[in-house]
Amino acid sequence: MSHGPEEIAIAVQRLHQGRLVAFPTETVYGLGADATSEVAIARVYSAKGRPSNNPLIVHVTDSTMAQRYADVWPRDAAVLARAFWPGSLSIIVPNGKNIPSLATGGGPNVALRSPAHPLTLALIKAFGKPLVGPSANRSGRVSPTLASHVSESFTAEDVFVLDGGPCAGGIESTVVDLTRPGPTILRPGLISAERIAAVLGKPVLVASAMPSTGESLPSPGLLESHYAPVAPAVLIDSNEIGAALADGSQSVVVLAWSERGKLAPGLVIRMPASAAEYAAMLYRALRDADATRPDLIAIENVPRGGDAADTAVWEAVRDRLMRATAPR
């Protein structure tokens, strides 16, 4: 658990040695390594237990650094970076020569993002090169939103953790692909398709996260089961909360945001009713629920209504809940 100039110096030294440094962002913690070193990138895949065809996001300080690593930096990329960076938007463009294709899952394109956290921007600046950074969890599991979450999954010897406090956003960045005929969202996040379309002044497609069989995945990371707690998890309606808790045959933890959760006896983790606050707390709540070693985690379905901004955030939350509760 570390922060400050001395920690950045240690982190930079580790990165130069090709070793791993977990860094805070406004979304979730990333598992960082030198994005220009094949050896370092290989360590990330192996530490996470991640299939090497699932590409990594490359973190930069700003669009000037991004342009040094992209083969082409389209006008749309410049416009999006100006509007949303530093921030939770990953932009896919053709990869240049300096990021090994191991980081891109073997493919021709690279996802670039400038994270909105001062500690991590200072780290990348001091290192002078971009960092690959998948979420700092074991592959398929719940992403970390606290430094202690990272320390639970990796030893201090393997991963040096820069502690930047709790992640404010709480769910992973929106991923937009600019290498297709039209801009396409591959992963929903807190920056909505509507905002991206408004800034670009053109329509934005949203790739179906779960294509029918036979079709190839738009992004290998969009596998159905993901962000999964250890205990089996299911979605329930608000009026099923009482029954879920009354089931004496198994121990159940309920994540509830509505008034119904207040009335329910037993183990309920109260979730915020505001979309942004719910998103910020979701992964921590799933991890806290898991820590009680329940037989089941029952998650109350989230609202569909609200204003446009809320609707988009609930949409991104719902995407994570679908994956957390998908059959494994």
Q: Is 134 in the site for ligand TXA (CB under 6 A)?
A: yes
241 binds, among Mg ion, ligand TXA, none (CB under 5 to 8 A by kind): none
222 binds, among Mg ion, ligand TXA, none (CB under 5 to 8 A by kind): ligand TXA
Distance of closest approach, residue 248 Cβ to ligand TXA, in angstroms:
38
Q: Is 174 in the site for Mg ion (CB under 5 A)?
A: no
Backbone angles phi, psi at 131, to 5 degrees: -120, 130
Q: Is 323 in the site for ligand TXA (CB under 6 A)?
A: no
**Dist. CA 200–CA 189, nearest whole Å:** 17
42-to-12, 27, 101, 135, 319 alpha-carbon distances in Å? 18, 24, 11, 15, 29
Q: Is 133 in the site for ligand TXA (CB under 6 A)?
A: yes
Assigned token pair, 28: 């979730």
**Closest residue to ligand TXA, Cβ-based?**
221
Distance of closest approach, residue 275 Cβ to ligand TXA, in angstroms:
17
Backbone angles phi, psi at 76, to 5 degrees: -60, -35
Number of chain residues interacting with Mg ion (CB under 5 A): 1
> To 10 degrees, the CA torsion angle through 123, 126, 127, 130?
60
Residue 300 parent element (H or E):
strand 296-300
37 binds, among ligand TXA, Mg ion, none (CB under 5 to 8 A by kind): none
Among 61, 63, 109, 153, binds ligand TXA (CB under 6 A): 109
54 binds, among Mg ion, ligand TXA, none (CB under 5 to 8 A by kind): ligand TXA
Q: Is 130 in the site for ligand TXA (CB under 6 A)?
A: no
Distance of closest approach, residue 274 Cβ to ligand TXA, in angstroms:
20
Q: Is 57 in the site for ligand TXA (CB under 6 A)?
A: yes
Distance of closest approach, residue 91 Cβ to ligand TXA, in angstroms:
10
The closest of 68, 173, 171 to 113, measured between CA atoms, is 173
Cβ closer to ligand TXA: 55 or 261?
A: 55
Q: How many CB atoms lie within 10 A of CB 323?
A: 19
Residues 124-143 that bind Mg ion (CB under 5 A): 135
Q: Is 90 in the site for ligand TXA (CB under 6 A)?
A: yes
Q: Is 175 in the site for ligand TXA (CB under 6 A)?
A: yes
Cβ atoms of residues 142 and 324 within 8 Å? yes
Assigned token pair, 12: 């930079």
Q: Is 325 in the site for ligand TXA (CB under 6 A)?
A: no
Residue 195 parent element (H or E):
helix 193-200
C-alpha angle 23-24-29 in degrees, rounded to nearest 5: 80
Q: Is 54 in the site for ligand TXA (CB under 6 A)?
A: yes
3-state secondary structure of 140: coil
Cβ closer to ligand TXA: 37 or 173?
A: 173
- Exposed, middle or buried: residue 303 (CB in 10 Å: 0-12, 13-18, 19+)? middle
User: Angle, to 10 degrees, between the axis of helix 308-324 and the axis of helix 193-200?
Assistant: 130
Cβ closer to Mg ion: 63 or 135?
A: 135
Q: Is 173 in the site for ligand TXA (CB under 6 A)?
A: yes
The residues binding Mg ion (CB under 5 A) are: 135
The residues binding ligand TXA (CB under 6 A) are: 25, 27-28, 30, 54-57, 88, 90, 92, 104, 107, 109-111, 113, 115, 133-135, 172-173, 175, 186-187, 219-222
